Structure 1
Amino acid sequence: MGSVSTGSEPSATARAHAPRPLIGLDLLRFGAACLVMLYHLACTAWLVPSSEAAALVGSPIPFPALLPVSAQGWVGVPMFFVISGYVIAYSASQASPSRFLTGRILRLVPGIWFCATVSFGLALLFFPETGGVLFERYIRTLILFPVPRWIDGVYWTLGIEIVFYGLVYLLLCLNRFDRLEPVILAVGVVSTLAWLLAAAAVWPDLDRIISTRIAKLILLTHGCHFALGVLLWSAVRRGLSGARLAGLAVCLTGALLQIRYDAGFVGASLGLDRSPAMAWLLYAVFMLLFCLSIRVNTALSDAFPGLGRRFRDLGLATYPLYLLHTFVGALTMRFLSAYGLPPATCLAGGFLTAVAASLLVSRWVEPPLRTGLGRALQAAGIRLRSRGLTPGALTR
């Protein structure tokens, strides 16, 4: 869920030298969020009684005709990781360590504060758990606790993103950002090797082991996806060399094997087809569109200078959409269903309400929260500098 924006207001000089908007990637990021939303609202909400979506919808609203796609909507998460690899490398290449760190905090934290609070309030009304249990999950969410449970299961990806951000930040601090490609490539190769060993069945239950929470947090599970994004960024910046093409092929192999495992796991859990064919197809189409969007981004932004801003609004709304869609979308479906509306109308209403809420949050709620947090970080940095505890990392 990366963003090119650093989260702070740019100066006139910075705006003059601002990077081009990534028009296609903003659309792809929004599309990936819609896939995840489809998975929760049109699949788990009626097939997984223990899920948050099922608890919120109440009486199941089945969508059997959508299952070939909706049951594979989780593949939107690996797509997010590829986009993060590209966008974070893109933005960090033009940032100091302090600007990168501050930008990540300002991008993540305000959305979590607001969206988790909304989810907590709704959970108190509609979840069967006690207030004490829900409050504990709420606090774990606010502090980005790395292991479950959170107020909403979708927060599981944020810890993984933060580990990737931390690796990029460390390279910036060491003044070795030029080593980002080989470092992330190494992460991707190790991830791919683990999935190759799991596919070869030389180590029983290896696929399950490398899908545990700790494996995810050390990027063993999804490192191949992040590496694809970084390698594509390097290819755009420095050209597609033979070594880089080989690295892309290796990491793509790991990505497809990781998706195969998830497809089998989800299929077994839902009692559906365990074939990865549809998930692979969705991921392949995404990768093709990803490469095409990079290729034509300059031409698009030059030909339609206002287009980037409009699509950027969708890109910025993706983060709150991801965090809110289960609660807002499922509850909308619940209320529409209570009025006797057909399932298709309930689902469409859930989608549209979640998207509208996310646009509202990204445009009117997050900016003032981000401004206030930015001032607090700046003030904290000044106080720390005055005490000689920091070289002014947060205020530069």
Structure 2
Amino acid sequence: MTETVVSTRKPQPGAAVLVEPPGATTVPRRRQSSGGRLRALDGLRLVAALMVAAYHYGGRDGEVAEAWGTSPKEQFPTLHEYFAYGCLGVQVFFVISGFVICMSGWGRPLKSFFASRASRLLPAYWAAVVLVTAVFALPVVAYEAVSPSDALVNLTMLQMPLGVDRVLGVCWTLWAEIRFYALFALCVVLPGANRRRVIMFCGIWMLAAVMAENANMPLLDIVVMPEYAPFFIGGVGLYLVHLDRRDAYGWGIVAVSWLTGQHFAVQSLWHAPSADGFSYRSSLGILAVVTFGFVAVAAIALGWLRWANWRWLTVAGALTYPFYLVHEHLGWVVIHALHRGLDLPSGVTFALTAASMLMLAWLLNHYVEKPLTPRLRAMLTKAR
């Protein structure tokens, strides 16, 4: 959810992959792409973000019910059951992230990799934390803002391990992303990315993840993230497939990741049918959405969606991260104003809320990310 989708590039001269002897560790030559960007991946990221937004606006109870005045189950008697599957957009994000981080970290020194990730994440994140904190502090807003101390801690992105109240509800996924970046940086980028090292990284991480599931070791759970590791690993495997569609190890990593990923998703999100429950997610429905994420990224990796090369997809990809950051909590404020303040119908309110959050995302991208991201990257790259 947090990556800039850029064109694939050949490993830089002098990188470890180019000085290895011929054999299994050498990355095959990449097929030439007709397009400069993987624009279909940009579009898929926006689809995943809209899935999550549908879940937050109409697929669950809680604070959003206060915004609507009643449960979204009453606002969307039929659609709420489909909106409930939108939370799986996060798993789709993680598959995309695995693909893009492997692509962006290949042939790049650790300092450059860190600068790229930090400059991509932080400017929009800082702006979103300040904006949501300020809006929630307004007397007319019914939701309670976090304390000033907790708001300051949120600027570090370390509120989850510190147990501090979150300004942004979605920031728990950023904590998972940061841990993935750290693992990939230490195990792959620092020693130098090559095919053998990436395969070993995926295999060891997957083994550690399945062992951690029943080890009852909280620290191990924090590090290896058993519930989400298969999705990151699957994305990395799909990047190997992107390099060479005949790579049996790459396909094996993808297959094992899909099999274990769907297990963890069903285990955490399925629940038995209940008249008192908000909605019922079937195991088949969860499996279908997880499979969609893997198949969609695989289609992009194999070049099947190269025809989707429209420039507006690049804009869509640029809006995804700021939209993801602000859509939930600020969306509740907009829903309350439109539905309860102006008495607009539920469907119109839903559409206008999503559109307003996309417009806000454009403003954050245009006035925050575009000017600050390159400056922060340059500062971090030049710093000793």
Task: Summarize the Cα distance change of 1:86–1:168 in structure 2 as closer, same or farther, 3 Å threshold.
Answer: same
Which of the residues 227, 236, 239 maps onto 2:242? 236
Alignment-derived partner of residue 10 in structure 1:
none
Residues 146-155 or 34-43, more deviating:
146-155
Alignment-derived partner of residue 18 in structure 2:
none
In structure 2, what is the Cα distance between the partners aligned to 1:27 and 1:156? 23
Deviation of 1:327 after TM superposition, in Å, equals 2.5
Output one character per residue of 1:189-228: Cα deviation in whole Å (capped at 9) or x when no partner.
4434666xxxxxxx6xx8xx69x79725432221111111
- How high is the sequence identity, in percent, across the aligned residues? 23
Name the aligned partner's letter for residue 258 of structure 2: L
- Structure 1 residue 264 and structure 2 residue 270: aligned? yes
Structure 1: 5+ residue runs without aligned partners? Answer: 7-16, 196-202, 385-396
Q: CA RMSD in A?
A: 2.9
- Structure 1 residue 292 and structure 2 residue 299: aligned? yes
Equivalent residues in 2 for 1:152-163, closer than 5 Å: 152-163=168-179
Deviation of 1:28 after TM superposition, in Å, equals 0.9
In structure 2, what is the Cα distance between the partners aligned to 1:187 and 1:367? 35
Name the aligned partner's letter for residue 236 of structure 2: V
Alignment-derived partner of residue 260 in structure 2:
254
Alignment length (residue pairs): 347
In structure 2, what is the Cα distance between the partners aligned to 1:335 and 1:180? 49
Equivalent pair of 1:36/1:73 in contact (CA under 8 Å) = yes
In structure 2, what is the Cα distance between the partners aligned to 1:266 and 1:77? 22
Which of the residues 151, 164, 184 maps onto 2:202? 184
Task: Summarize the Cα distance change of 1:43–1:176 in structure 2 as closer, same or farther, 3 Å threshold.
Answer: closer
Which of the residues 205, 214, 219 maps onto 2:225? 219
Structure 2: 5+ residue runs without aligned partners? Answer: 7-32
Deviation of 1:300 after TM superposition, in Å, equals 2.6
Equivalent pair of 1:316/1:362 in contact (CA under 8 Å) = yes
Deviation of 1:323 after TM superposition, in Å, equals 0.5
Task: Summarize the Cα distance change of 1:23–1:372 in structure 2 as closer, same or farther, 3 Å threshold.
Answer: closer
In structure 2, what is the Cα distance between the partners aligned to 1:36 and 1:318? 11
Which of the residues 97, 100, 111 maps onto 2:113? 100
In structure 1, what is the Cα distance between the partners aligned to 2:87 and 2:122? 24
Residues 310-319 or 235-244, more deviating:
235-244
Which of the residues 308, 313, 320 maps onto 1:311? 313
- Structure 1 residue 374 and structure 2 residue 381: aligned? no
Task: Summarize the Cα distance change of 1:335–1:29 in structure 2 as closer, same or farther, 3 Å threshold.
Answer: same
Name the aligned partner's letter for residue 80 of structure 1: F
Deviation of 1:262 after TM superposition, in Å, equals 2.3
Deviation of 1:287 after TM superposition, in Å, equals 2.3
Name the aligned partner's letter for residue 3 of structure 1: E
Name the aligned partner's letter for residue 185 of structure 1: G
In structure 1, what is the Cα distance between the partners aligned to 2:380 and 2:280? 50
- TM-score w.r.t. the length of structure 1 is 0.78
Equivalent pair of 2:43/2:316 in contact (CA under 8 Å) = yes
Alignment-derived partner of residue 330 in structure 1:
332
Equivalent pair of 1:110/1:366 in contact (CA under 8 Å) = yes
Alignment-derived partner of residue 339 in structure 1:
342
- Structure 1 residue 173 and structure 2 residue 190: aligned? yes
Name the aligned partner's letter for residue 345 of structure 2: P
Equivalent residues in 2 for 1:1-396, closer than 5 Å: 1-4=1-4, 20-44=36-60, 47-48=61-62, 51=63, 53-57=64-68, 60-61=71-72, 62-125=75-138, 126-129=141-144, 133-145=146-158, 146-147=160-161, 148=163, 149-170=165-186, 171-178=188-195, 179-192=197-210, 215-264=221-270, 270-296=277-303, 299-300=306-307, 304=309, 307=310, 309-337=311-339, 338-377=341-380, 381=383, 384=384
Deviation of 1:164 after TM superposition, in Å, equals 1.1
Equivalent pair of 2:212/2:220 in contact (CA under 8 Å) = no
Equivalent pair of 1:163/1:217 in contact (CA under 8 Å) = yes
